[in-house]
Amino acid sequence: MAARRLLGLLALAVLLAAADAGVTSAYRRKLEATADMPLDADVFRAPPGYNAPQQVHITLGDQTGTAMTVSWVTPDEPGNGTVAYGLSPETMVLSAKATLTRYDYYNYTSGFIHHCTLTKLKHGVKYYYAMGFGHTVRTFSFTTPPKPGPDVPFKFGLIGDLGQTFDSNSTVSHYEANGGDAVLFVGDLSYADNYPLHDNNRWDTWARFVERSVAYQPWLWTAGNHELDYDPEIGETTLFKPFTHRYPTPYRAAGSTEPFWYSVKIASAHIIVLSSYSSYGKYTPQWLWLSQELGRVDRKTTPWLIVLLHSPWYNSNNYHYMEGETMRVQFERWLVDAKVDIVLAGHVHSYERSRRFSNIEYDIVNGKATPVHNLDAPVYINIGDGGNIEGIADNFTKPMPAYSAFREASFGHATLEIKNRTHAYYEWHRNHDGAKVTADSVWLTNRYWMPTDDSN
């Protein structure tokens, strides 16, 4: 019986290989309801001590990481807004002052939110930092990214649509075990908006939950639809209100006018973050910024060009099918012309990786609407599989489109290890009922330095 099944599988594999078809993974996760961790879960616990700083997180404070922005919340009173930092816990002789903000959301009032940019940091150096002076002091550390250069290795974690379920906790644990140096987060953080009145206490629990990683290494934020928090029925009409109060981005350093689109340069990568939920039509600020930004990319210094956005342009899942289409039509040609290496998206709660395909010839009368193999095109990766409460998107379109290389309806995260200007190793890690399993991996070659056909 088992042998016959194996033979059948082999025959199928041969057939698939012959047709050069992509793979729709047959793996099925254990069927169980995705549930948010309860409010008394260990990962949500507030740190002990009066007015103890909580929800500590860091992100780049400038384009390359010689500045780092530290954010935290104090629950009882504003407290001391100074961050002390230095090369060891005993010599935190540098200091910087935070800005303080708060916001109301319907009948919720946030804690005291602090943002403090530590400047004059050196590349590739471990720093210790502490805050909460006068009451409860907490100390953390991070290592600044290496100076940008063409052959500087670096390992990114790729996470999206995380939420705060037991599966979300597995995703973070598996990422920690895989050991990346910074996270490219493709949007949809807390899913607080799934609660009545967008219960913003769930923004607080989320930030306490991820502190164990993001207090120690920068996560780069992309805005997703769950960051909009737009609810006119309860009088909340300021887009992205909780997100912008809580999660700063280094947009000014990138010549941007809004926190939702910006760029950074880490090691050998130039990373462009776009907003699927801000206008991007011709002449809009985001359109104008991107048109100029692509001209600022220097592949000799930062060979890898990576774009982050929330709503995918290539997605063969019936869930959110074609939602990213208008943005694709607006920008795909630019990205192909710029030879972007990878476009990372989330939104669809599944995993999918594309071959190098483009769909830029169609002009409304010529009928050329089918995506075609194109070695100048990026690989599109959907990692909206962080494990949030909305569950898995397991309804893929049939037949599998030619552009799709691999797709699977499971939760997990990915890692991208840039080795040098020509090679990067990409791996997707499925959360397999508690264990982590590498379920898809590929060597990617750089579109500028070695544009070989790498996407099979």
Ligand X SMILES: *[C@@H]1O[C@H](CO)[C@@H](O)[C@H](O)[C@H]1NC(C)=O
Residues that bind Fe ion (CB under 5 A): 188, 224-225, 347
Token reading at 150: 């063409």
Least Cβ distance, residue 289 to ligand X (angstroms): 33
Please tell me the distance from the alpha carbon of residue 211 to that of residue 55, in angstroms, as a whole number. Answer: 6
User: Contact between 173 and ligand X (CB under 6 A)?
Assistant: yes
Query: Using CB under 6 A, which residues numbered 115 to 134 contact ligand X?
Result: 133-134
* Binder of ligand X out of 25, 34, 82, 178 (CB under 6 A): 82
Please tell me the distance from the alpha carbon of residue 286 to that of residue 268, in angstroms, as a whole number. Answer: 24
How big is the site for ligand X, counted in residues (CB under 6 A)?
20
Please tell me the distance from the alpha carbon of residue 37 to that of residue 39, in angstroms, as a whole number. Answer: 7
Nearest to Fe ion of 142, 277 (CB atom): 277
Which residue do the tokens 């769930």 mark? 202
Catalytic site includes residue 270: no
In a 10 Å sphere around its CB, with 0-12 CB exposed, 13-18 middle and 19+ buried, how is residue 356 labelled? buried
Least Cβ distance, residue 79 to ligand X (angstroms): 9
Q: Taking CB within 5 to 8 Å according to partner kind, which of Fe ion, ligand X, none is near residue 133?
A: ligand X
Name the one range near ligand X by CB under 6 A: 79-87, 245-253, 304-312, 346-354: 79-87
- Residue 129-168 contact track with ligand X, rule CB under 6 A, x = bound: ----xx-------------------------------x--
Q: Taking CB within 5 to 8 Å according to partner kind, which of Fe ion, ligand X, none is near residue 225?
A: Fe ion
Least Cβ distance, residue 375 to Fe ion (angstroms): 30
Least Cβ distance, residue 346 to ligand X (angstroms): 20
Least Cβ distance, residue 278 to Fe ion (angstroms): 15
- Residue 20-39 contact track with ligand X, rule CB under 6 A, x = bound: -----------------x--
**Beta bridge pairs of residue 415:** 157, 427
Positive or negative, the CA dihedral 437, 59, 225, 99 is: positive
E-strand spans in 27-133?
54-60, 68-74, 82-86, 94-97, 99-101, 104-105, 108-109, 112-118, 126-131
- Residue 91-110 contact track with ligand X, rule CB under 6 A, x = bound: ----------------x---
Positive or negative, the CA dihedral 217, 61, 303, 335 is: positive
Least Cβ distance, residue 368 to ligand X (angstroms): 25
**Beta bridge pairs of residue 348:** none
Nearest to ligand X of 92, 253 (CB atom): 92
SS3 content of the chain, % helix, strand, coil (to 5): 20, 30, 50
The DSSP symbol for 179 reads T
Residues ≥6 apart with Cβ < 8 Å to 138: 47, 52, 53, 56, 130, 131, 132
* Binder of ligand X out of 74, 169, 244, 354 (CB under 6 A): 169
Q: Does a cis peptide bond (omega within 30 degrees of 0) precede residue 399?
A: yes
Least Cβ distance, residue 126 to Fe ion (angstroms): 35
Query: Using CB under 6 A, which residues numbered 381 to 440 contact ligand X?
Result: 395, 419-420, 422-423
The DSSP symbol for 300 reads T
Is residue 276 a contact partner of residue 421, using CB atoms and an 8 Å limit? no
The DSSP symbol for 165 reads B
Residues ≥6 apart with Cβ < 8 Å to 367: none
* Binder of ligand X out of 43, 67, 210, 274 (CB under 6 A): 43
Please tell me the distance from the alpha carbon of residue 299 to that of residue 396, in angstroms, as a whole number. Answer: 36
Q: Taking CB within 5 to 8 Å according to partner kind, which of Fe ion, ligand X, none is near residue 224?
A: Fe ion
Helices (H) and strands (E) in the chain, counts: 6, 26
Positive or negative, the CA dihedral 331, 250, 176, 192 is: negative
User: Contact between 317 and ligand X (CB under 6 A)?
Assistant: no
Nearest to Fe ion of 193, 408 (CB atom): 193
Max Cα distance, the chain (Å): 71
Q: Taking CB within 5 to 8 Å according to partner kind, which of ligand X, Fe ion, none is near residue 318?
A: ligand X
Q: Taking CB within 5 to 8 Å according to partner kind, which of Fe ion, ligand X, none is near residue 201?
A: none
Least Cβ distance, residue 59 to Fe ion (angstroms): 20
Q: Taking CB within 5 to 8 Å according to partner kind, which of Fe ion, ligand X, none is near residue 347?
A: Fe ion
User: Contact between 51 and ligand X (CB under 6 A)?
Assistant: no
C-alpha of 414 from chain center? 10
The residue annotated as part of the active site, out of 57, 114, 320, 429, is: 320
Nearest to Fe ion of 224, 242 (CB atom): 224
Catalytic residues: 320
User: Where on the chain is the footprint of ligand X (CB under 6 A)?
Assistant: 37, 41-43, 80, 82, 84, 107, 133-134, 166, 169, 173, 197, 318, 395, 419-420, 422-423
